[in-house]
Amino acid sequence: MKQQLSILLVPLDPVHDLGLRMINHRLQESGHNTTILPPDLPLEEAVKKAAEHSFDYILVSRTMGYGVVELLARFVDLLDAAGIRARSKIIIGGKAMTPELAAELGFDKGFTDRCTVEEAVAYIEGRTYEPNQLALKREKRDITASYSYEVKNPELAELLDAITDEVLAWAEDKTSPGIQRARLREEMIRQGESIASSLLSEYLALCDEPIVEYYTKGRLIKGTRTITPDEVAALNSIHKSANVRSIQHLDSQPRVIIFTGSGCPLMDVLHNHIAAEWGIDGTIFICPSWVARLEGLLQGLIAHEEDGTIPTLENIALVKRHLRPNLYFQVRAHRGLNTPEMAVYASHFRVDFTKINPVYGSMNGGTDPARLVLDAVDAIRTVSKAGVAFDIPANDELSGIPTAKNFAGMLFTAALARKLGARPILKPLLCFAPYAMIYGQMDNNFVDYNAAKILALRALFDAPIWTGEPVGFLTHEDDRVQSGTTTALHSGLAASLGVDMLTFASTDESYSRGPITIASRIDTFNALRTMFRFLGDATFAPTPKCREYADRLQEDIIAVLKGVKEKGSMVDALYEGHFGTREEGANPGRAGRHTVAKRAS
């Protein structure tokens, strides 16, 4: 049974007593006897009240900083002289206080202005304070579990069925160097093979020269270096503490994900650790762009001097090993010559998500359409077998490609995934879309057209939505306050639209042109937390234009896919501009061109 305590609350401040009144309310709810004094009492009168009864605790608050040391030191001396210190514990908190100053002045305990009501009450009741259980105990939920993946529009369902059947029939007897390497990598992982593996020569025969030279001559790719054992060992000295914050105000609000990919897996570990303290829900392992253009993957613990961490088994393992188990982890596979092999990595590590989009990767990611469509089929089969979900990024919109063409490609990939038994996640952008810049859909506001994207997708396909990547793309300026504000506004819009997850950037990401600082990440964490608290269950209110835009998007998506079906070849449709023309910003990739071959029977 909880002990009933007697507590005196003393606001030693001219006017501020709100914090003590909140604590008093909670203490009374818990069955304790409390007496709260008004603010701005003379010290002698407060001490006289304290002497009238044998209080277990005396709680003091102080907000104003002027004269605080002299005032509080005199108060403690008066309590001591009255014999009150011998029978009561004296606790202080407030904006003017630190634990160190409280101890120096003779208080039994000191709290800063960040102390919560729950923390103060737990201390008084002698309980261990368990901070912010929403963040600390929240488990990773399967964001795909509640969706049926029903295509809601019958005409769209027929189109997607026909197009995906054509792609699977086309891919049935074909292979590529990426697919062949993926099979070798699976066997190497299964056997635990090292660089001296008998399979290595077969693997290197399918790789580009820089990869071959790394394995055979130890020649590092420019801008990289090996990581030392001492550097890895130093990670063990990281102080590990409980997560005491949550970015979300309500559990129903979207899970929030950050990019890491500093180039150094050690730095990624540190960023992930600090970000977890501030309440993020997961992290994305970002690779350098050149990884998508070279056939083959490196091996070992390697750092890279520019953005993007090299996706070796060892680098991924290091980052994952130091990641809190209740955080989501994504390893991308989506847009390059190593897509099938990266899907093998994602499956091997049982990550929560990977990323696959053959349309984006071949229109704006630099990979040949035929090669990437084929490789994507293989990659989807791999992650489907392993039970790894994947998102379908729609970043080709950033090149000016019409949103309807962008979404048609995303829905094709989602339908292909369902046919192969996988769990796709739609990933539209909430951004200042270049297409809308040109044609005026965002001249009035950023809400209507972005909200229309979500409404259109929901009307067509019952699937999870993870807005990326990041939210607010092309609205950030070279100012940390502005950048944090626009990220928070777009995140609030995402929350009001009921999306499942969102990815956000740090406030210096639009202009740093170099390493991302943790201080700038924290700017954004605080901005999102403030927005989610401000919004709660409330929502943004789009204008009637939003519905007009959503209806038009649905019509245009179906029109795009009609053209693809009439073409009779998804690959040809990609080359010929059905998912974006050169004038619209789409450029079919060249990496891996002419590498698709008939599979040996």
Range of the domain at 356: 154-562+571-575
Torsion of CA 540, 541, 545, 549, to 10 degrees: 40
Same domain, 507 and 441: yes
Within-domain flag for 64: yes
User: What number is the average pLDDT over the span 518-536?
Assistant: 94
pLDDT at 510 over 70: no
176 is written with which tokens? 């590529």
Same domain, 103 and 199: no
Within-domain flag for 143: no
Give me the chain's average pLDDT, please.
92
Q: What angle do CA 472, 473, 474 make, to 5 degrees?
A: 110
83 is written with which tokens? 């014999």
Residue 165's CB is within 10 A of a number of other CB atoms, namely: 12
Adjacency order of strands within the sheet including 353-355: 424-427, 389-393, 353-355, 328-331, 282-285, 255-260, 501-504, 466-473, 429-431
Same domain, 242 and 112: no
- Cα–Cα distance between 168 and 599 in angstroms, integer? 14
Listed in sequence order, the DSSP H helices in 536-590 are 545-567, 570-575
Within-domain flag for 586: no
Residue 273's CB is within 10 A of a number of other CB atoms, namely: 18
Same domain, 123 and 182: no
Same domain, 198 and 74: no
Q: What angle do CA 82, 84, 87 make, to 5 degrees?
A: 150
Same domain, 12 and 46: yes
CATH of the domain at 182: 3.20.20.440
| pLDDT single digits (tens) 345-367 | 999 999 999 999 999 989 877 89
Secondary structure percentages of the chain, helix, strand, coil, to 5: 45, 15, 40
User: What number is the average pLDDT over the span 210-215?
Assistant: 96
Residue 312 to residues 20, 189, 285, 583, Cα–Cα distance (Å): 54, 12, 11, 37
Same domain, 393 and 533: yes
Same domain, 203 and 109: no
Among 160-174, 299-313, 506-520, the minimum mean pLDDT is found in 506-520
User: What number is the average pLDDT over the span 153-181?
Assistant: 98
| pLDDT single digits (tens) 546-574 | 999 999 999 999 999 999 999 999 999 99
DSSP tag of 591: B
Name the pTM for this structure: 0.87
User: What number is the average pLDDT over the span 212-226?
Assistant: 95
The three-state (H, E, C) secondary structure of 346-413, written as one string: HHHCCCCEEECCHHHHHHCCCECHHHHHHHHHHHHHHHHHHCCEEEEECHHHHHCCCHHHHHHHHHHH
Q: What is the DSSP pairing of strand 597-598 with strand 501-504?
A: unpaired
What is the secondary structure of 154-211 as a DSSP string? HHHHHHHHHHHHHHHHHHTTEE-HHHHHHHHHHHHHHHT--TT-TTHHHHHTTS-HHH
State how many domains the chain has: 2
Phi first, then psi, for residue 242 (nearest 5°) are -70, 145
Residue 331's CB is within 10 A of a number of other CB atoms, namely: 25
Distance of CA 517 to the CA centre of its chain: 16
93, 115 contact by CB (below 8 A): yes
- Best CA proximity match to 43, nearest among 63, 68, 22: 68
CATH of the domain at 28: 3.40.50.280
Within-domain flag for 146: no
Sole residue written with tokens 């990326």: 468
Query: pLDDT at position 365, please?
Result: 76
Within-domain flag for 590: no
Within-domain flag for 137: no
Same domain, 98 and 158: no
Same domain, 116 and 190: no
Same domain, 108 and 214: no
Within-domain flag for 224: yes
Same domain, 240 and 356: yes
Phi first, then psi, for residue 385 (nearest 5°) are -60, -35
pLDDT at 244 over 80: no
Within-domain flag for 598: no
